[in-house]
Structure 1
Amino acid sequence: MSTFGQGDDITFDRSFVAAPGELLQISPRVRRMLAANPGPMTFSGTCTYVVGSGDVAIIDPGPDLPDHVAALLHALRHETVSHILVTHTHRDHSAAAAALKAKTGAKIIGCAAYTVPHPGEDGAFDAAHDLTYVPDAVMRDADVIAGKDFSLCAVATPGHTGNHLAFALAEDAALFSGDHVMAWATSVVIPPDGAMADYMASLEKLRRRADFIYWPGHGNAVREPQRYLEALIRHRLKREAAIMVELAAAEMTPTDLVAAIYRNLDPALKRAADCSIRAHLDDLVARGRVVVDTGAGPEPSYRLI
């Protein structure tokens, strides 16, 4: 169960234990299989969810790992896969969709395909995106697909990526939150596709809902989600305040700010920290609180207005 520290601190739940390739029942309507892709950005691996029984939907088929796809197909060999839903196009969530469609005939639906920000750069702004993802249909906010004993409603939650969706399972008062809200860590916001303003607005949007539990793309369930959302919002506001304090003392680059704000940072998380700082800075510039100088050196520098 997720717990919370005092003040603006968040105590994350990193107790998740599961064996890759096993399809486990985690609620009456939901099963989960862990992919064998652990790492600093994926925690213990990507969680693939199966909703329903007999006639099922797969949410976030995961990375294109043959063993993961084979294990999922074997576990569902006596059932019919009607839908393959994707929360966003990071390869650890969407890349197995094509292989599953080829084997099951199910339609790939959910988020829109990723659009490279600048043609010719081949996804250089966010190399994690799956450029091979081709949905059969795109779900928009409030669109619903129905199975034999379940319905899944799309909830647009941009921020982590521009095309991020969550899916609400009304019958369980549950939300499949993808990478937008996770119990093990905060979500990284990766500009220019991801945007801090969108991320914060999506957190506020979820606060207005009454979901009982979140099933995220990595790690354990988020329980007491409203309290957890409030903690995430406080955390981001605290990070913004820290940036403002540093810029009040001196003009700084994103690299300067990462070094000043993130103490004892694991080198494997440096890129995530850099993305977070840049996303906050983009937001502060857009709100007219900070000005950017793009010609001062190898990276832009920022100062208070």
Structure 2
Amino acid sequence: MPALPQPRPTSLPDGRTTAAARRLLAPNPSPMTLDGTNTWLLGAPADDGSPRPAIVVDPGPALEEHLDAITAAARIELVLITHRHRDHTEAIDALVERTGAPVRALLPEHSRDGAPLRDGERIEAAGVAVEVVATPGHTSDSVSFWLPDEGVLLSGDTVLGGSTTVIDHPDGTLGDYLATLDALERLGRERPTGILPGHGGEIADLAAETARLREHRMRRLEQVRAALDRLGRDAPVEAIVDDVYADAPARVRTWAAHSLAAQLAYLRG
């Protein structure tokens, strides 16, 4: 029987580390999930070598290998969900069946034996403190989890490592996403904070990354405005996608159309 994947310690690009957050990469790579979904295990290290208690953030896909790795790595006390998408939530019920741990999400339909999350709420479990930060935009229910003692933010799909997120319009909106980026940039400027994303690798500087993402979104809006000037205000969405996202692989064009719809809605007010 092959050995189970082991959770990887967190190491930020600037050399900072935290023993309170470990990553298990789900084996579900795709154009949208990048290398796969990051399942995060949060918890203070156990001194005696016994399985340490942990909070699971985003159990990910319902794949037996991934579930085995999660349950072998820690004693699960609590499960937290960053947002509703299936690549983050599919394993909820299978993990509850194995562990009996309560699950908390912003949406009641993703919660199990636990109250829905509240923006600004402080959660203490498995020896760590976690603060809930509402970060809508990618989806309306997106939240991030800030570990103030560790100086890291678990961003779900609000900020990705090595890519930009999709605005899942009409549920997600560009206006919400830009407001979220502004709020996260302020948080990062008040206190240096690293990012532990839902997909991709760790990012060192929350303030710098969110400023970069905002600049990228504003450039895209200018490209959309220019495309509308060239193609006409009534141009079909497909034609605008081909113009604005000419460099995007065909396999992600459907999701590019979601983001374009969000941009058009934003421009039209």
Q: If the TM-score is normalised by the length of the shorter chain, which range does it land in?
A: 0.7 to 0.9
Structure 1 position 148, deviation (Å): 4.5
Q: 2:79 aligned with 1:84, yes or no?
A: yes
Find out whether 1:254 has 2:254 as its counterpart.
no
CA RMSD between the two structures: 1.6
Look up the match of 2:127: 149
- Paired residue for 1:124? none
Whole-angstrom distance in 2 between the partners of 1:20 and 1:270? 35
Does residue 66 of structure 1 match 2:57? no
The answer for the alignment partner of 1:279 in structure 2 is 262
Structure 2 letter corresponding to 1:218: H
Q: For 1:217 and 1:148, how far apart are their aligned partners in 2?
A: 21
User: Contact 2:160–2:197 at 8 Å: present in 1 too?
Assistant: yes
Q: Residue 218 of structure 1 is aligned with which of 199, 207, 230?
A: 199
Q: CA deviation at 1:223?
A: 1.1
Aligned equivalents of 1:212 and 1:23: distance in 2? 22
Runs of at least 5 residues in structure 2 that lack an aligned partner in the other structure? 11-17, 45-51
Q: How many residues align?
A: 247
- What residue number does 2:8 align with? 24
1:33 equivalenced with 2:24 (yes/no): yes
User: What's the CA shift for 1:179?
Assistant: 0.3
Structure 2 CA distance for aligned equivalents of residues 35 and 111 of structure 1: 23
SS at match of 1:205: helix
Shift of 1:109: 0.7
- AA paired with 1:71? A
Post-superposition, which runs of at least 4 consecutive aligned residues in structure 1 deviate over 2 A? 19-22, 133-136
SS in 1 for 2:54: strand
Q: CA deviation at 1:253?
A: 2.0
Between the aligned partners of 1:148 and 1:37, the Cα distance in structure 2 is: 27
Q: How far apart are the structure 2 equivalents of 1:225 and 1:270?
A: 28
> Residues 64 and 148 (structure 1 numbering): CA distance in 2 closer, same or farther, change over 3 Å?
closer
TM-score if structure 1 supplies the norm length? Answer: 0.77
CA distance 1:148–1:63, shift in 2 (3 Å)? closer
What fraction of aligned residue pairs are identical, expressed as a percent?
Answer: 32
